[in-house]
Structures are given as structure tokens and as C-alpha cells.
Amino acid sequence: MVDEAQDFTPLQLLLLHRLSHNSMTMAGDLTQRIFDTGIRDWDDLGEPIDNRYVLTMSHRTTLETALFAKALMRDASSATLAERVAYHGERPLVMQCRDDQSAVSAAIDYVGSIKANNPSASVLLVHPRNAALRGLREGLAAVGITGYVAKGDTWEFSEKVTVTTYRRVQGLEYDYVVVLGLNEFETMPMSGDKSHILYTLATRAKVQLVLCVRDPLPALLSGVDNALYDLR
């Protein structure tokens, strides 16, 4: 069984298939392909696929978040999105701040309000750069919020606020996802399609997605209909 199969190379999948002798099951979402080396089509395996199944109902995210995430895609028509979602929720919130430090303060304040109203809520705070994570954790601690930096095998599933980078959250889910550094992210050199990374990040949110950005709004949001989110 190969999970997150979209991020394996065709050669890796072919090798696993040859080693399996009997059968192999692959599960994945091409829309969440966050590395350039991943397969772009299931037929990239180069061997016959006997059975294909498409999951049509999303039980993780809300309709409002799903629509916003789809709009982030450069080519939304190619997105392998669920036809239906299980429930409605809050529209994503975009908080437009005057500079990066104001955005960090706004994010920490918002996390504080979430925890004050619902201490058991799971909260993810993300930034594109590893170097920023320790400062975010310290910023949370300064206002009495317990957080931890998730790297490697340091993941916890507790009431602490998880602080990590955009790429590390694939396959996970949180009640609230609070995003920082989007202005910086769109200018960072990296492998992988940034719109796929953002789609994957956005769909981690079960209750609400919050983006704290600096003025002007990042170009990555330019293709998103402003009716799909609340701007503050």
C-alpha cells in the first residue's frame, strides 16, 4: 500500500510494483503533488492499472475552504477535487497587515482568541521558512500560548499549537490553519508547483483557514474571487 503516491517518482512506483510480486494499491491526490518529481498522471506508472476508484466526498474540509483552495490552483480545471463536501463552515479569512511583523502579531492574536474560546481546538501555524519557526513559538509563549515546532519525528497530537512549514503538513488535519509568509513564499525559489503546495496547505483546515499577509495582497491571491473569503 503506497500512500501519498503522487509524490513518488514513476521509477519508484514501478520498482515497488515489481518488488510486490502480488499486488499494489496506490492512494493519492494529484492536486496535492508538492514535488516536481512526482507523477502527473496515474498512467505515468507505465504498467496496466487493473482497478481505479475515485473518492467523491471530502470529509475533512468545508465547502467554503474547498472552493477557496481550488481557486488558488493555477489550473483549477485540472484539480482532482471531491464533487461534494460533508459540511459548511466559515469562509477563509484574509487579514491584510501593514508589514510582516504586524502579520505575525495578528496571527498570534488570532490563535489566542481561538484557544480562549476553545482550548481543545487543534491549531496549525505555518510559515514557509524554517528559520522563522522558533520565533513564532517564542511569540506564542510570550502571550501564554503553548506551542511546539514540528520537525522530523517531533510531531505531537495534543492541545499545543503546532508550528511548522508549508511542506510538512501533507496528510494531516487541524481545526484551524493560520498561514504566515505568503508574500515571501511567492518569491522563494523552490521545487514544486506553489499553487499545489498552497492547495494542500489550505485543505488541512477543518473549521477555518486564516491567512495573515502584508499589504499589498500577494499575487497568489489575485486569481481568487473576493467573494470566496472575508478580508479584514
Grid cell, residue 83, equals: 464533487
Please give the Cα distance from 223 to 225 (Å, whole number).
Answer: 6
Which residues, including other chains, have CB under 8 Å from residue 65's CB and lie 6 or more apart? 89, 92, 202, 203, 205, 208, 209
Cβ–Cβ contacts within 10 Å for residue 44, how many?
Answer: 16
What residue type is 68 in one-letter code?
A: F
Q: What is the pLDDT of residues 43-76, one digit of tens each?
A: 888 778 889 998 888 888 899 999 999 899 876 5
Q: What is the pLDDT of residues 194-218, one digit of tens each?
A: 989 999 999 999 999 999 999 999 9
Would you state the pLDDT for residue 79?
53
Q: Under CATH, which number does the domain 62-79+90-231 receive?
A: 3.40.50.300
- Of the listed ranges 80-84, 115-119, 192-196, the least confidently predicted one is 80-84
Please give the Cα distance from 159 to 116 (Å, whole number).
Answer: 12
Taking a C-beta distance cutoff of 8 angstroms, is the pair 161, 115 a contact?
A: yes
Annotated domain spans of the chain:
5-45, 62-79+90-231
What predicted TM-score, i.e. pTM, was given to this entire model?
Answer: 0.89
